[in-house]
Amino acid sequence: MSSAIHPGLIFFVGALVLPLLRQRSLKQVFLLCVPVAAFVSLYAVGAGEHWVYDFIGYKFVFGRVDKLSLCFGYVFVLVTFLGMIYALHVRDTLQHVATLFHAGAALGVTFAGDLLSLFLFWEIMALSSAFVIWCQRSDASLKAGFRYLIVHLFGGAALLAGIIMYAGETGTTVFTRMEFGGLGSYLMLFGILINAAVPPFHPWLPDAYPEATVTGAVFLTAFTTKSAIYVLLRAFPGVEILVYMGAIMTVYGVVYAIIENDIRRLLAYHIVSQVGYMVCGVGLGTELSMNGSAAHAFCHILYKALLFMGAGAVLEVTGRRKMTELYGHQLYKYMPICLTFYLIGGFAISGAPLLNGFTSKPMIAIAAGELHRPVIYLLLHLASIGTFLSTTLKLPYGTWFGAKPGENAPATLKKAEPPLNMLIAMGMTAFACFLTGIYPKVLYDILPYPVKYNPFATYTVLITLQLLIFTALAFYFLRSRLGSQPKISLDTDWFYRKGAALFLDACTGVAGARLVLQESVTRLVRWTTHQAQNPIQAANRIILGKEGGIVPYDANRHRHAIGLGVMYFLILFSLFSIVFLAYR
Partner 1 sequence: MQVLKDPKYIAAFIFILSFFTPTGEIHFFWERLPVFEVLFGFFGCIVLIFFSKWFGKLLVQRDENYYE
Please report how close the Cβ of residue 113 comes to partner 1 at its closest, in angstroms.
Answer: 38
Residue 471 engages partner 1 in binding (rule: CB under 8 A)? yes
Q: Scan residues 241-280 and list those touching partner 1 (CB under 8 A).
A: 254-256, 258-259
Please report how close the Cβ of residue 194 comes to partner 1 at its closest, in angstroms.
Answer: 21
Which phi and psi angles does 448 have, rounded to 5°? Answer: -65, -35
Three-class HEC string of 324-378: HHHCCCCHHHCCHHHHHHHHHHHHHHCCCCCCHHHHHHHHHHHHHHHCCCHHHHH
Residue 231 engages partner 1 in binding (rule: CB under 8 A)? no
d(Cα 243, Cα 239) in Å, to the nearest integer? 8
| Beta carbon nearer to partner 1, 6 or 147 | 147
Residue 481 engages partner 1 in binding (rule: CB under 8 A)? yes
Residue 498 engages partner 1 in binding (rule: CB under 8 A)? yes
The 399-438 contact track toward partner 1, x by CB under 8 A, reads ----------------------------------------
Residue 326 engages partner 1 in binding (rule: CB under 8 A)? no
Preceding omega of 396 cis (within 30 degrees of 0): no
Q: Is 411 exposed, middle or buried (0-12, 13-18, 19+ CB in 10 A)?
A: exposed
| Beta carbon nearer to partner 1, 224 or 390 | 390
Stretch of 55-63, 70-78, 196-204, 457-465 contacting partner 1, by CB under 8 A:
457-465
Residue 563 engages partner 1 in binding (rule: CB under 8 A)? no
Amino acid at 359: T
Please report how close the Cβ of residue 193 comes to partner 1 at its closest, in angstroms.
Answer: 22
DSSP lists the bridge partners of residue 64 as: 49
The 335-374 contact track toward partner 1, x by CB under 8 A, reads ----------------------------------xx-x-x
Among 27, 59, 381, 541, binds partner 1 (CB under 8 A): 381
Please report how close the Cβ of residue 208 comes to partner 1 at its closest, in angstroms.
Answer: 14
Output the furthest CA–CA distance in the chain (Å, rounded): 120
DSSP 479: G
Q: Scan residues 274-293 and list those touching partner 1 (CB under 8 A).
A: none
Residue 469 engages partner 1 in binding (rule: CB under 8 A)? yes
Hey, how many other C-beta atoms are within 10 angstroms of the C-beta on 288?
A: 21
How many residues comprise the chain?
A: 584
CA 286 to each of CA 239, 256, 321, 450: distance values in angstroms, whole numbers, following the listed order:
11, 30, 41, 12
Among 29, 442, 474, 524, binds partner 1 (CB under 8 A): 474
d(Cα 414, Cα 418) in Å, to the nearest integer? 11
d(Cα 377, Cα 471) in Å, to the nearest integer? 18
Residue 502 engages partner 1 in binding (rule: CB under 8 A)? no
Residues ≥6 apart with Cβ < 8 Å to 291: 363, 444, 447, 448, 449, 451, 453
Query: Residue count at the site for partner 1 (CB under 8 A)?
Result: 44
| Beta carbon nearer to partner 1, 487 or 557 | 487
d(Cα 142, Cα 144) in Å, to the nearest integer? 6
d(Cα 301, Cα 82) in Å, to the nearest integer? 11
Q: Which residues of 208-233 are buried (b: 16+ CB within 10 A; e: fewer)?
A: bbbbbbbbbbbbbbbbbbbbbbbbbb
Residue 382 engages partner 1 in binding (rule: CB under 8 A)? yes
Please report how close the Cβ of residue 207 comes to partner 1 at its closest, in angstroms.
Answer: 10
| Beta carbon nearer to partner 1, 54 or 139 | 139
Please report how close the Cβ of residue 155 comes to partner 1 at its closest, in angstroms.
Answer: 22
Please report how close the Cβ of residue 296 comes to partner 1 at its closest, in angstroms.
Answer: 20
Q: Scan residues 9-38 and list those touching partner 1 (CB under 8 A).
A: none
Residue 486 engages partner 1 in binding (rule: CB under 8 A)? yes
Q: Is 510 exposed, middle or buried (0-12, 13-18, 19+ CB in 10 A)?
A: exposed
Residue 496 engages partner 1 in binding (rule: CB under 8 A)? no
Q: Which of 199, 175, 437, 176 is nearest to 295 (CA)?
A: 437
The region that residue 474 occupies, defined by phi over 0 for left and psi between -120 and 50 for alpha, beta otherwise, is: alpha
Please report how close the Cβ of residue 289 comes to partner 1 at its closest, in angstroms.
Answer: 14
d(Cα 225, Cα 223) in Å, to the nearest integer? 6
Residue 505 engages partner 1 in binding (rule: CB under 8 A)? no
Residue 466 engages partner 1 in binding (rule: CB under 8 A)? yes
Among 170, 340, 489, 540, binds partner 1 (CB under 8 A): 489
Residue 203 engages partner 1 in binding (rule: CB under 8 A)? no
Among 377, 400, 444, 453, binds partner 1 (CB under 8 A): 377
| Beta carbon nearer to partner 1, 7 or 253 | 253
Please report how close the Cβ of residue 143 comes to partner 1 at its closest, in angstroms.
Answer: 9
Stretch of 16-24, 216-224, 352-360, 452-460 contacting partner 1, by CB under 8 A:
452-460
Stretch of 53-61, 158-166, 421-429, 471-479 contacting partner 1, by CB under 8 A:
471-479
Q: Is 517 exposed, middle or buried (0-12, 13-18, 19+ CB in 10 A)?
A: exposed
Residues ≥6 apart with Cβ < 8 Å to 481: none
Among 385, 432, 446, 451, binds partner 1 (CB under 8 A): 385
d(Cα 218, Cα 133) in Å, to the nearest integer? 11
Binding residues vs partner 1 (CB under 8 A): 254-256, 258-259, 369-370, 372, 374, 377, 381-382, 385-386, 389, 457-460, 462-464, 466-471, 473-476, 478, 481-482, 485-491, 497-498
